Every structure is written in C-alpha cells, then in structure tokens.
Amino acid sequence: MRYHYAKKARENAQILRKNLTDAERVLWKRLRSRQLAGYKFRRQFPIDSYILDFYCPEHRIAIELDGSQHIEEQHAHDEKRLHVLQQSNIRVLRFWNNDVLNNIDGVLQEIVNTVNLTLPLS
C-alpha cells in the first residue's frame, strides 16, 4: 500500500524520529520490533501533511501522545487532523504522556485491545 504525504512532512518526520519525547521513547521501546503481540508499528509516520506519533499500518491505527503543552489552541488542529485520518479509515488512539510514563502496561493493554478489534488489511 502506498501512502501519500507531503515532502515537508517526510523531512519533519525524520527530524522528529531523532528527537523523541520521554513518553515517545518509553512507548517506542515497547512497540518496536513487533514486541507488542507481534504487531508492526512505525514511529513518526507521515500521512498527508500530518505526522503520526506511531502507526500500525496493518490495522490502520494511529497512536498520538499529548503532553502538558497540548493546549486548547491545539484543539482545532487536532479536530481537522482527526477528520483527515478518519477519511483515510485510520482509527486514532490518544494518550497523555503521563499515562505512558506512569501506566505503560495499561496503555499497552488498551492498544492491544483496539488492534484486536480491527481486521488486518488484506
């Protein structure tokens, strides 16, 4: 499957992969190399003009992490982004950074439960 993304988004994704937040680093350590129930995840994955924190292409699930800097002004941007992703049949899971840092097992269980509810692409 080919993904569409803006060249600028791809360049930004490469930069973001080198500068993960603490929460992204913790979650990536548990998602990478098919460690979570054998599911393949990508980090800082560009789709359209957006960069997804984590993405499971087989099940079209995006995982987004929000920190304390995620303020009200960001809400309109998030809504537009969510609409674009839903139009591409991508389900979005959102977690607070604190949840990842303080309850990683709970976050991972919610991810597994969601992935298990979706059919893989054929």
**Looking at the 3D structure of the chain, how many domains does it have?**
1
> Which residue range(s) make up the domain with 87?
7-116
Residue 30 lies in a domain: yes
pLDDT in tens, 85-107: 999 999 999 999 999 999 999 99
Residue 2 lies in a domain: no
pTM of the model: 0.82
Q: What is the CATH number of the domain that holds 92?
A: 3.40.960.10
pLDDT of residue 86: 92
Residue 122 lies in a domain: no
Burial letters 40-56, b for 16+ CB under 10 A, else e = ebbbbbbbbebbbbbbb
Residue 59 lies in a domain: yes
Residue 105 lies in a domain: yes
Residue 22 reports pLDDT greater than 90: yes
